[in-house]
Amino acid sequence: MAEILKVMNVTKTFGGLTAVNNVSFSVREGETLGLMGPNGAGKTTLVNMICGSYAIDSGEIEFMGKDIRKLAPHQRCKLGISRTYQIPRPFPELTALNSVVVSALCGKDRHDMALDDAATEATHYLEFVGLFAKRNILAHDLTLYELRGLELARALATSPKLLFVDEVMAGLNPVEAENAVGLIQRAKEEFGITVLWIEHVMAVLMRAAERIIVLHYGEKIAEGPPEEVANDPAVIESYLGAG
Amino acid sequence: MLGVIETTIVYTLLMGSLYLLVAVGFSLICGVLRIFHLGYAYIFVATIYLTWMFMDLLGWGLVPSIAAMAVIQAGLAVAIYKGLVSRYMKQEELIITGLLLVAIIIEQAALRWYPIQTGVYLETTVIPGMTQIGATTISNQLLFAATVGIVVTGLFVLFFLKTKTGLAVRAISYDLYSSRVMGIQVERLYIFVMILVLIPVMIATLAVAPVWAVDPTMGWGYMITAILVVVLGGLGNLKGTIIASYIIGFCHAFVSFVVAEPRFMTLSALVVVLIVLIVRPQGITKTESLW
Amino acid sequence: MELEVKRDRLVLRVRANKWEWTIEPRYWRNPLVYVGLLVALPIVVYFVYPSLLATIINANLLAAIAIPLAWMTIGTGRVNFGPQFYIGAGGYAAALLSIHYGLHPVLTLIVAALVGLAFGFITSPLALIAGGLYYTLLTLLLPLVFLEITFIYTGLFKGDVGLAGVAPLVDTGRFSLNIFLVALLSLAMMLIYMFIIDKVLRSRYAVQMAAINDDEEVANSMGVNVNKVKIISFAIPAMMIAIIGWFYAHYYGTFAGITFLPLVFMLKILLVIMIGGRAQIYGCIIGGYFIAFLEMILIRTMGDISPVLFPVILLILLLALPEGLFGVYRKRHYREYLPTLHVRR
């Protein structure tokens, strides 16, 4: 399997704090890679750097063989990187439909797409996440679960090759959480995307991910299949403390 | 050559101190109260013309007129706050437009009843005569005004750093909601600050009135300087305002004496500010805090 | 590039992109009625009360400035407090070329537009780096500094008095007919601007602008080229406003910075938007006519106290009707307006 994303020796410091310290890993095409670590481990910072929101202090990032460090976020999106946000960041004054229309229009260089066509495509994605009935409701009126769905629809509408899913579980009850996991699995199969799944909850990643990377205080402390990582003493210590 | 350098330094200090008086109030209102007081220019016009009105219409002496003018200005500030600012805190375009309208009303009223030909002149010279400093002579009045500028700014800094009220005002500038929750009397403090910022402007305008020309449109010239100083120094940051005042003062002095083209004063200051902004978009200071 | 006419829409294809516009008769009924009224007005006035034509021209021009300004506001997410800067640019360019080189108004139009576009591009970084109050203050400063420059280079710009002797827009020999044609021209200009901005605000760019206004960083991550949208939303309205400067120069035959660059004029424009109804562009037309006619009535009835009374009345109106005249209409006749765009600070 080809390597779709290569992150090499990436470091990011904020003032005196090293958020990400010399992290290297790669993502293979078509896999679901889990990214784990306790709070403050640097997971979201890492994603922000790959997506372009933060500049990296040192290291290299290659996507599909191209060095993307100098590209602006919207250019990376057009290449095929997309993400959801840990705390949903919808476009509050836009309807659910229009939110997805924006990414359908701009996420990829499309041929022969007018605004109406984008709206049609947006409805497909909304239907996929189950929000078709709420398509004309303003985003700030949706519930948390619906917002997560909207985030996913918006990210999928950009036709990504690599999707970063950032802590989907937080704040959902068990039923909603089940649905969310199932939705991401289906998205992966139906749209043929590679997923990098950031999550706190180990149980989810054990089932869903093929490989897991664990970060702790900005450093990679483990990498491998779920069972291996779950039994890794360093990982257990990072979550539960020593002794 | 040395004379030019001397003159430049003298005028930098002089103008910088005067600009302090002009800009410190603007910086406070915009940065601390977060009111975009684009009608700030009216204070200059109102100071001169209200005083003149009392002297001309009611025949009062200079000091009583100034006192009456101060009272009316304070009342006006309160009225503006109650009628405009507090009602439309959320809709900033309304506040800005309203404040601008107030400034224009006052300016047009002054133009209508005391046009430039009437020769308004306020004899507010405290220290007459001129002093020789190095290669240049400066009116004592301006020196006095500059000294007052430094003193007043120093008092302001002490007030905001050392007193309880000053602390409360700083709290408001950081987080309005939390300040309310903590029991700070926000309304009263807003009114207090609005009246407080009138003082340096009134002093500055009255002090320079006999030396520099007075006309109803004078407010905008000072306003431009205030804007440049505040944008350069960082909104609401007193340290930045002080440094920026002297930078702009230096800019004006440099262009006037070294380059010898006083016409380009304002333009050069604008260019300097723009260049700094391109390099550091938030102005020369690092933080948005008061000090 | 190919244009296709279907039963109910126009389809335009340029390279890989496609634009569609509805041209169904019912869709156009209301607009045609209003345009008809607006065109009938100067015609009726010409025969009944010709001195009102000047007021109509003022109204159209004020609206024509406010309409692209609304696009600039929505596209950059900030309010530009110095749009008259571009009026000065276009007006002086047109006046100087007409006086010193005798260029025909059509040629000066092209140059004024290019000058406006150039100034727009040069000043557009303001929309990218400055935000909030800094942006307000800097855009406020620009025209005031332009005014300073015109006083510095008095030889060129003729300072207070301004440039005189600019060629008129039309010259049929009869004064009243000239004014009538100019009135129609100003109306045409405003309607063209209205049409253009209406299309822009219903297009794919409108959704992108709405997304940028809501959350710029997220919009950037979703593929929206934020900087490009902001720069274009700044430079092209600047060009359109500069063209109005060109119009003023050729209409009055003179152009003085002191008339247009200080804050009084800017306030008029701002009030057209406020009293007309914020970023609702149809409100700009109502606002324009309201302000122009209010000023005319005040000058004729109150004489020399009107410069004081005018801002007083506007202040009262501003406080009494915060949502503007068109906003009042909107509240009564609510319809689905797509999409409602908000300006963030």
CA triple A71-A74-A80, angle to 5 deg: 85
Do A184 and A131 have their domain in common?
no
Q: Are A20 and A45 in contact (CB under 8 A)?
A: yes
**Residue C292 belongs to a domain:** no
Do C77 and C16 have their domain in common?
no
Banded pLDDT at A164 (limits 50, 70, 90): very high
The shortest C-alpha distance from C282 to chain A (Å) reads 21
Taken as a whole, chain B contains a residue count of 291
The shortest C-alpha distance from C325 to chain B (Å) reads 14
Number of independent structural domains in chain C = 2
Percentage of residues in chain B having pLDDT higher than 90? 8
Do A137 and A178 have their domain in common?
no
* The most confident of B75-79, C23-27, C231-235, by mean pLDDT: C231-235
Distance CA A207, CA A224 (A): 14
A101 or C160: which carries more pLDDT confidence? A101
Q: Number of C-alpha atoms within 13 angstroms, CB side, residue A76? A: 30
Do C37 and C147 have their domain in common?
no
**In whole numbers, what is the pLDDT of chain A averaged over residues?**
88
**What value does the mean pLDDT take over residues C51-73?**
92
**Residue C277 belongs to a domain:** no
* The most confident of A9-18, A200-209, C61-70, by mean pLDDT: C61-70
Do C144 and C20 have their domain in common?
no
Do A95 and A74 have their domain in common?
no
Q: Number of C-alpha atoms within 13 angstroms, CB side, residue B232? A: 28
Closest by Cα among C277, C140, C260, C33 to B99:
C140
Instruction: Give the residues across from A166 on adjacent strands.
Output: A198
pLDDT digit string (tens) for B48-81? 888 888 888 888 888 888 888 899 999 998 888 8
**What value does the mean pLDDT take over residues A22-30?**
90
* The most confident of A91-100, C32-41, C81-90, C123-132, by mean pLDDT: C81-90
Beta-carbon pairs below 8 A across chains B and C: 93
**Residue span of the structural domain in which A191 resides:** 1-80+160-243
**What value does the mean pLDDT take over residues B261-279?**
82
Long-range contacts of C174-179 (CB under 8 A, 24+ apart): C176/C46, C176/C50, C176/C53, C179/C50, C179/C53, C179/C54, C179/C57
Residue tagged 């009105």 (tokens): B53
pLDDT digit string (tens) for B192-214? 888 888 888 888 888 888 878 78
**Residue span of the structural domain in which C32 resides:** 1-43
Instruction: Please tell me if residue A73 touches chain C, with a CB cutoff of 8 Å.
Output: yes
Do A47 and A115 have their domain in common?
no
Domains (ranges, CATH) in chain B?
A: 2-279 (1.10.3470)
Do A16 and A72 have their domain in common?
yes
Do A155 and A199 have their domain in common?
no
Do C59 and C32 have their domain in common?
no
DSSP single-letter state for residue C305? G
Picking from A140, A159, A178, the residue at the C-terminal end of a domain is A159
Confidence (pLDDT) at C322 = 67
The shortest C-alpha distance from B132 to chain C (Å) reads 30
Do C192 and C71 have their domain in common?
yes
Do A74 and A8 have their domain in common?
yes
Banded pLDDT at C339 (limits 50, 70, 90): very low
Q: Are B242 and B153 in contact (CB under 8 A)?
A: yes
Do C90 and C121 have their domain in common?
yes
Picking from A159, A179, A211, the residue at the C-terminal end of a domain is A159
Do A175 and A243 have their domain in common?
yes
Do C105 and C254 have their domain in common?
yes
- B269-283, C160-174, C223-237, C315-329: the lowest-pLDDT one: C315-329
Do C161 and C213 have their domain in common?
yes
Q: Are A123 and C212 in contact (CB under 8 A)?
A: no
* C152: three-class secondary structure by DSSP: helix
The shortest C-alpha distance from A204 to chain C (Å) reads 26
CB-closest option in A51, A101, A117 to C207? A101
The pLDDT of residue C341 is above 50: no
Closest by Cα among B231, B223, B264 to B247:
B231
Picking from C235, C262, C289, the residue at the C-terminal end of a domain is C262
Residue tagged 């950059």 (tokens): C76
**What value does the mean pLDDT take over residues C50-64?**
91
Do C131 and C2 have their domain in common?
no
pLDDT digit string (tens) for B180-191? 888 888 888 888
Q: Which residues of C touch B264 (CB under 8 A)?
A: 152
CB-closest option in C125, C152, C312 to B105? C312
Do C21 and C134 have their domain in common?
no
The pLDDT of residue C326 is above 80: no
Confidence (pLDDT) at A241 = 65
pLDDT digit string (tens) for C72-96? 988 888 888 899 999 999 999 998 8
Question: Do the chains contact at B101 and C311, CB–CB below 8 Å?
Answer: yes
Question: Do the chains contact at A115 and C208, CB–CB below 8 Å?
Answer: no
Picking from A132, A159, A186, the residue at the C-terminal end of a domain is A159
- The residue type at A173: N
Buried b (16+ CB within 10 A) or exposed e, C65-88: bbbbbbbbbbbbbbbbbbbbbbbb
Banded pLDDT at C234 (limits 50, 70, 90): very high
Do A125 and A66 have their domain in common?
no
Beta-carbon pairs below 8 A across chains A and C: 101
**What value does the mean pLDDT take over residues A187-213?**
87
Residue A236: Cβ within 10 Å count = 14
Residue tagged 């009924």 (tokens): C29
Cα-to-chain-centroid distance, residue C305: 28
Number of independent structural domains in chain A = 2
**What value does the mean pLDDT take over residues B135-161?**
86
**Residue C64 belongs to a domain:** yes
Q: Are B232 and B284 in contact (CB under 8 A)?
A: yes
Do A111 and A155 have their domain in common?
yes
Confidence (pLDDT) at A151 = 92
Do A134 and A164 have their domain in common?
no
Question: Do the chains contact at C322 and B88, CB–CB below 8 Å?
Answer: yes
The pLDDT of residue B124 is above 70: yes
Instruction: Please state whether the predicted TM-score (pTM) of the whole model is above 0.90.
Output: no
- Residue A209 sits in a domain whose CATH number is 3.40.50.300
The pLDDT of residue C340 is above 50: no
Question: Do the chains contact at C138 and B277, CB–CB below 8 Å?
Answer: yes
**Residue C191 belongs to a domain:** yes
Do A166 and A154 have their domain in common?
no
